[in-house]
Amino acid sequence: MTTHRHLQLTFGPETVTAPIVYTMGKNYQVIPNIRRANIEQHVGWMVLDLEGEPADLDAATAYLKGLGIEVSSAEGDIVAG
């Protein structure tokens, strides 16, 4: 059963320009939906809605954290629509 997970990601200079959302969606069977973002040359943040099976969401989250991206819950911080 698919579910949604709402995450806030904070990127540092090592990851801010990498195609992380694309790679995550391709490799971990999750559907990413960027709800809000502010990406600059050296830092950035993104509010992401991920849809998928719980195990795939866990694997995708572990992938992000393994890259050094700060991952936190974004519950209540999702733009409706």
Q: Which domains does the chain have, with CATH numbers?
A: 3-73 (3.30.70.260)
Rounded Cα distance, 77 and 55, in Å: 23
pTM above 0.85, yes or no: yes
**Tens digit of each residue's pLDDT (9 = 90 or more) over 22-67:** 999 999 999 999 999 999 989 999 999 999 999 999 999 999 999 9
For 56, other C-beta atoms within 10 Å of its C-beta total 18
Containing 8, the helix (H) or strand (E) segment is strand 3-11
